[in-house]
Amino acid sequence: MPPTRVVSRQNPRYREVARLVSSSRDRRKAGRCVLEGEHLVAVHLERIGLPEVMVANEDAVARPGVAALIARVPGSRVLVVPRALFDGMGALPPDVGVIAVAPAPKPAQGRPGDLCLLLEAIQDPGNLGSMLRTAAAFGVTDAFLSRECAFAWSPKVLRAGQGAHFQLAIHEDADLVALARSFRADGGHVVATVASNGRPLDEARIAGRVAVAVGNEGAGLSAALRAGADLAVTIPMPGGSESLNAAAAAAIVLYVVARQRVTAAARR
């Protein structure tokens, strides 16, 4: 069947989507995420499946990317609305012509994978999304977020993640200190990323199961989580800067850890 054209703000399906777009609280309560733009919707289709509903701005349906998405989703799940209704759903980026609503994937419980990321109190959505994107690129299987982190499934984090959310198992509200303890008890290594007084990253030898811990943008890692690690590393900075952006530091450490793990595995 063709998509449903909606012209009234009173349409129940439109009102439900608008409520979720505009309210972070309602999204969290419903366990839903809003995917903004062609790329995120396409990645979700490829890696997860159909969204519950997709809404297209009628001015954008002629775009090749939007038209291709509409062709892939059953018409019963697609709403086409005038620009005024599309813009009226909430603060969407100006270039977005299509959005979708889908359940936020729930991670499987059980033994974490061999390369994990522990994020403590990462509060900037852009930083959090960038870290998840980097983690997916370097083969991280599980990302554990403390309760103080930004909501992983907010639109800003999703945009910065560029689809990484659908490659990772994302565990929110995690007790990172307890997790570090159990990870080490199971034969893994916990690597704490610190701004100073750690082992220089280029001198560290890292292999096997590894969990990399990265802390808050200003305060860094808590003393408890740092104490729970068996190795603390510092990124050498010959230029003399005091510290790196948390997302940049995470990217450098994950790259080195991933490379060393591959090298160590090849030598076995």
What whole-number percentage of the chain has pLDDT above 90?
Answer: 78
pLDDT one-digit tens code per residue, 33-64 = 999 999 999 999 999 999 999 999 999 999 99
Q: What is the mean pLDDT of the chain?
A: 92
Is the pLDDT at 238 greater than 90? The verdict is no
Is the pLDDT at 73 greater than 90? The verdict is yes
Contacts of 110 (CB under 8 A, 6+ apart): none
- Structural domains of the chain ordered from first start: 4-103 (3.30.1330.30), 115-267 (3.40.1280.10)
The CA radius of gyration of the chain, in Å to the nearest whole number, is: 21
Q: What is the pTM assigned to this prediction?
A: 0.91
Measured in whole angstroms, the distance separating CA 201 from the mean position of its chain's CA atoms is 25
